[in-house]
A and B are shown apart, each in its own frame.
Chain A
Amino acid sequence: MGDNILRELYNKVLSLFKQTEKEENAKDVARNRLRVVLMQDRTNLTPELLQRMRKELVELLSKYVEMDKEALELNLDQDGDQMALMLSIPVIRAKDEAEIKAELEKEDKEKEETEAEEVEEEAETEEAQESDEDASEEENETEENTEDIEEDNSDSEEEVEEAEESDSVDSEKEEVSEDKASKKETK
């Protein structure tokens, strides 16, 4: 009997402590939630878009390092007036030079193929232009867009390569600081 009462008392005291611990965090919880929500407000990046960005980043970076895809952390952070995109990737293993080369060559080949396809498509659109001008205009626009994205990709590849040169550590922290104009521009 006495043992039970003691145990109950102990649990009660313990739960009291647990509660105060939780309450102590209310400020941090508020601050962190607010940070996330403000970044979304300021950048117009919805959770879905962030998810997509994350996925694309994983695809891109996986070419160079073997990493824990689930543990990749993507956060937007405010550093004074500057907005920064914080990327934290636990690296499982650095890839061999050969592996990376093979991967890149494979990709270059694919790129060439798609480019060739694009040229074909362009030729097609030129034909289509004669018949329907409006439609072809739209297509050209989308092509331009994809080109832009490809350019962006090659830029970030260079950055990653630089980072790769430094020795592989278990967890490598990369900071991709975006020259995104300060938050207020979103309006």
Chain B
Amino acid sequence: MTGRVIVITSGKGGVGKTTTNANIGTALARAGNKVVMIDTDLGLRNLDLLLGLENRIVYTIVDVVEERCKLKQALVKDKKNPNLCLLAAAQTRDKTAVTEEQLKDICEKLKKDYDFILVDCPAGIEQGFQNAVAGASEAIVVTTPEMSAVRDADRIIGLLEAKEEIKSYKLLINRVRPNLIKSNDMMSVDDVVEILSAELIGIIPEDTGIITSTNKGEPIVNDEKSLAGTAYRNVARRIMGEDVPFLNLEEETSVVAKVKKFFSKLVGKEK
């Protein structure tokens, strides 16, 4: 088995990298893939919290690198899904504790046993970013329709393009607020895609459910009714090669459009 190593990165902090990682990872595992997530944000780990695994961590990636345990021992299994596991970051160390080579090595080893290795990248473009990217051949760049996030995403894309190992990168636009876009108060998904001229892999609507799901340590993809959850599940399907149309977020908010769609479905003339 040769797994795909995908780094999830953004440049700017707080745009939802870790949330994206937890949700895509969970969705991929739910679809039957063997998935391992690596948190490379040494000193500022959070992926364990989003997955509700914070109390189960015994060994971290630094323990693996410093040979205090075997790689397999450090992998923490998810509560619900045996296909999913986490290699946690060390909370007490800084970015220098792991090198690019060591991360590459870990990814190579994991590739043999897993379909997907998702690397959660720290914010910034320093060593932490370089480390996270080292073992990956694909990247997902997370951004929001805000100026600072888009600018940082542009920088990250520039850095990714300069990396030979990264064969492809795709854009995920998080925290999309259809109402603000409609009133022309926020840049639209099309604006962001045009400015960054990158291929899109996901549009995730702003969802208060994310907050509660984070608080519970339960990724929102497990909530079948959540719109953001559906959007993340769609991203996972696209990663697996399926051709899934993007959610039309504006439609969801407009009652008239819903009624129209309902009737057009009745008549059988759905566009």
Contacts and interface: CB of A to CB of B under 8 A. Distances in A.
Interface string A36-64: 01100110000000000000000000000
A31 B158 contact: no
B149 to A, nearest CB: 10
Contacts of A187: 158-159, 161-162
Interface in B159-217: 159, 161-162, 181, 183-188, 191, 195, 197
Interface in A1-56: 23-28, 30-31, 33-35, 37-38, 41-42
Contacts of A184: 157-158, 161-162
Given A78-B195, A184-B161, A31 B154 contact: no
B195 A34 contact: yes
A25 B186 CA distance: 9
Contacts of B58: none
A34 B184 contact: no
A27 B195 contact: no
A26 B158 CA distance: 27
A31 B191 contact: yes
Contact of A37 (B146, B151, B185): B151
A186 interface: yes
**Interface residues of B toward A: which range?**
20 to 34
A184 B197 CA distance: 11
A24 B187 CA distance: 11
A186 B158 contact: yes
Given A34-B147, A38-B195, A26 B159 contact: no
Interface residues of A, number: 22
Contacts of A24: 183-185
Given A34-B195, A42-B154, A27 B184 contact: yes
Interface of chain A, helix or strand or loop or mixed? helix
A183 B153 CA distance: 13
B151 A38 contact: yes
Interface string A154-166: 0000000000000
A81 B185 CA distance: 27
Contacts of A27: 181, 184-188, 191
Given A37-B151, A38-B151, A187-B158, A81 B197 contact: yes
A39 to B, nearest CB: 10
B151 A41 contact: yes
Contacts of B147: 30, 33-34, 37
Contacts of A30: 146-147, 186-187
Nearest to A184: B161
Interface string B118-160: 0000000000000000000000000000110011001101110
B191 A23 contact: no
A123 B188 CA distance: 63
A25 to B, nearest CB: 7
B158 A42 contact: yes
A31 B187 contact: yes
Contacts of B146: 30
B157 A28 contact: no
A33 B146 CA distance: 11
A41 B154 contact: yes
Given A33-B147, A35-B195, A183 B185 contact: no
Nearest to B152: A41
A23 B157 contact: no
A41 B185 contact: no
A26 B145 CA distance: 12
A26 B184 contact: yes
Interface in A49-94: 78, 80-81
Contacts of A35: 195
Given A183-B158, A184-B157, A34 B181 contact: no
A81 B195 CA distance: 10
Closest 9 CB pairs of A and B: A184-B161, A27-B184, A184-B158, A24-B184, A187-B162, A26-B185, A187-B158, A34-B147, A30-B147
Interface of B: 146-147, 150-151, 154-155, 157-159, 161-162, 181, 183-188, 191, 195, 197
Given A30-B146, A30-B186, 6 more contacts: A26-B185, A26-B186, A28-B184, A31-B187, A34-B150, A41-B154
